[in-house]
Amino acid sequence: MSLMVVSMACVGFFLLQGARPYVYGQDKPFLSAWPSTVVSEGEHVSLQCRSRLGFNKFSLSKEDGMPVPELYNGVFQNSFLMGPVTPAHAGTYRCWGSHPHSPTGWSAPSNPLVIMVTGVHRKPSLLAHPGPLVKSGETVILQCWSDIRFEHFLLHREGTTEDPLRLVGELHDAGSQVNYSMGPMTPALAGTYRCFGSVTHLPYELSAPSDPLDIVIIGLYEKPSLSAQPGPTVQAGESVTLSCSSRRSYDIYHLSREEGGHELRLPAVPKVNGTFQADFLLGPATHGGTYRCFGSFRDSPYEWSKSSDPLLISVTGNPSNSWPSPTEPSSKTGNPRHLHVLIGTSVVIIPFAILLFFLLHRWCSNKKNAVVMDQEPAGNRTVNREDSDEQDPQEVTYAQLDHCVFTQRKITCPSQSPRHPQQIPACTRNFQMLSPDPKFSPAHEHHSQALMGSSREIIALSQNRVASSNVPAAGI
């Protein structure tokens, strides 16, 4: 009997111990975010709650900041998709789990998870000193700075679920900055980094991310060789090819210039001599420098070989500022400047040409008119005068005809009737008083005298006809 009581007591004890995690929540789940706890404004993030006890339902809550309505009384399975994310979603989250055998009991709360939303402020700048290529075992300083007075900076490595490293910023008149010493360098520290800035009263609302900075560890594999074709000395404007090769089967070759500039990369191509090679075409050459190349493998892009021996490229002639990228046509480097010169020249030449054409046209027209007036005949004219039957003004029409020019002039005389032969219209008297201009040439004077003689004959004939008939003389 006593043995049975003891056995039942033991069974009850173990049952209570097994049920306690579900009822009293002694086994807490684990909360994580995918793809990262740092989320850009407008994107989505998945919150995942897991436990080794196999909870089939979870509840999620936000502990600080602005409330998120979609979390109220929400029960989900394993994961919860949140978004599009706004600054209101920034804050600390926890989850609870529920077991099917104990639907009314919840586990202990999970670990706190901080969701940070980026894009609230302008992006800062991220630099590496002395440079982003770091030998194994050495130290590199990452400097994040901004013209905004951020009290805190966050340093984040892409591709990891780890929380960003929060650093205290140094405030100054021009803004703020922070220096972070990272090392000794190992492959685990290599990767792409970004930094963010935040202010104290909104710690989870971050600035836009800085431009990415690749931190590469070098010196892990044997060095490749670097050569120049046709040679290390070229004329300005000529092209040069830098060949990086090795007997090791590297997947990618990287070319860098010590004086600065973007790192260039090309895939390695196997050659018939058993080497793996990449040819970097640089040109037209405008500026020299010292070049090095490295090799890497596709599955570890931030782990490079030792540096090749340095290769000095010398350019003779009139150097410019930079080498064009081998991935871009070389003409793209020079065309914009030439285009600007062409446009500026056209703006000056075209209006000047239009003005010159207009002035030349005016000059030619004036010259032509002057020639025509000079060639107007002074003789060989036929005078036709018609007198109306009425007592109104009389008209005399002069028609002058020369070889190529025909002009007709109509002169209206004053209102008078020639009732007596002696009464000659004023226009006829004026016509009789014409005399050669002393400024005319002898030819002009000859024509003028001929014209005066013809006019006298016409006037005499008119007087005779008027005398014979007391009617207005008909035009001759």
How many beta carbons lie within 10 A of that of residue 228, not counting itself? Answer: 18
Query: Of the ranges 40-49, 313-322, 419-428, which is most confident?
Result: 40-49
Q: What is the pTM of this model?
A: 0.58
For the segment 128-149, what is each residue's pLDDT rounded down to a tens digit? 999 999 999 999 999 999 999 9
pLDDT recorded at residue 4? 55
How many beta carbons lie within 10 A of that of residue 55, not counting itself? Answer: 22
Query: Cβ-count burial of 109 within 10 angstroms (0-12 exposed, 13-18 middle, 19+ buried)?
Result: middle
Residues 6+ apart with CB under 8 A from 343: none
pLDDT recorded at residue 103? 60
Please state the φ and ψ torsions of residue 6, each to the nearest 5 degrees: -65, -40
pLDDT recorded at residue 171? 95
Q: Inform me whether the pLDDT recorded for 435 exceeds 50.
A: no
Q: Inform me whether the pLDDT recorded for 420 exceeds 80.
A: no
Residues 6+ apart with CB under 8 A from 156: 36, 38, 164, 165, 193, 194, 195, 196, 209
For the segment 215-258, what is each residue's pLDDT rounded down to a tens digit? 999 999 999 999 999 999 998 889 999 999 999 999 999 999 98
Q: Inform me whether the pLDDT recorded for 12 exceeds 50.
A: no
**Element spanning 316, H or E:** strand 311-316
Q: Inform me whether the pLDDT recorded for 14 exceeds 80.
A: no
For the segment 344-385, what is each residue's pLDDT rounded down to a tens digit? 666 668 877 888 877 887 777 776 665 545 554 544 444 443
Residues 6+ apart with CB under 8 A from 342: none
pLDDT recorded at residue 451? 42
8-state DSSP, 314: E
pLDDT recorded at residue 457? 53
pLDDT recorded at residue 78? 79
pLDDT recorded at residue 378? 45
Domains assigned to the chain = 22-118 (2.60.40.10), 122-217 (2.60.40.10), 221-328 (2.60.40.10), 381-468 (no CATH)
Mean pLDDT of the chain: 75
Q: In the numeric block, which tokens belong to residue 29? A: 């789940």
pLDDT recorded at residue 7? 52
Q: Are 317 and 236 in contact (CB under 8 A)?
A: yes
pLDDT recorded at residue 72? 74
Distance CA 312, CA 277 (A): 20
Task: Return the higher-pLDDT residue of 446 and 40.
Answer: 40
User: Cα dist. 329→244, 261, 282, 317, 341 in Å?
Assistant: 21, 17, 10, 22, 20
pLDDT recorded at residue 145? 97
Query: What one-character-per-residue DSSP string does 100-138 give?
Result: TTBTT--------EEEEEEEEE---EEEEES-SEEETT-
Q: In the numeric block, which tokens belong to residue 13? A: 């004890």
Chain centroid offset of residue 141 CA: 33
Query: What one-character-per-residue DSSP string does 341-387 give?
Result: HHHHHHHHHHHHHHHHHHHHHHHHHHHHHHHHHHT--SSSEEEEEE-
pLDDT recorded at residue 53? 76
The lowest-confidence range among 17-31, 287-301, 322-336, 442-456 is 322-336
Q: Inform me whether the pLDDT recorded for 176 exceeds 90.
A: yes
Q: Rounded mean pLDDT of 315-343? A: 49
Q: In the numeric block, which tokens belong to residue 434? A: 């014409």
Q: Are 239 and 265 in contact (CB under 8 A)?
A: no
Of 2, 11, 53, nearest to 30 (Cα)? Answer: 53
Residues linked to residue 215 through DSSP beta bridges, in sequence order: 191
Q: Quick one: what percent of the chain has pLDDT higher than 90?
A: 44
For the segment 65-120, what is each residue's pLDDT rounded down to a tens digit? 788 887 876 788 878 999 899 999 999 999 988 876 666 678 889 999 999 999 99
Please state the φ and ψ torsions of residue 57, each to the nearest 5 degrees: -135, 145
Q: Inform me whether the pLDDT recorded for 471 exceeds 50.
A: no
Q: Are 94 and 112 in contact (CB under 8 A)?
A: yes
Q: Are 132 and 217 in contact (CB under 8 A)?
A: no
pLDDT recorded at residue 336? 41
Q: Are 161 and 118 in contact (CB under 8 A)?
A: no
For the segment 298-310, what is each residue's pLDDT rounded down to a tens digit? 999 999 999 999 9
Task: Return the higher-pLDDT residue of 401 and 45.
Answer: 45
Query: What one-character-per-residue DSSP string does 231-275 give?
Result: -SEEETT--EEEEEEESS--SEEEEEETT----EEEE-EE-TTS-
Q: Rounded mean pLDDT of 273-284? A: 92
Query: What one-character-per-residue DSSP string does 152-168 give?
Result: EEEEEETT--SPPEEEE
pLDDT recorded at residue 260? 76
Residues linked to residue 51 through DSSP beta bridges, in sequence order: none
Query: Cβ-count burial of 31 within 10 angstroms (0-12 exposed, 13-18 middle, 19+ buried)?
Result: buried
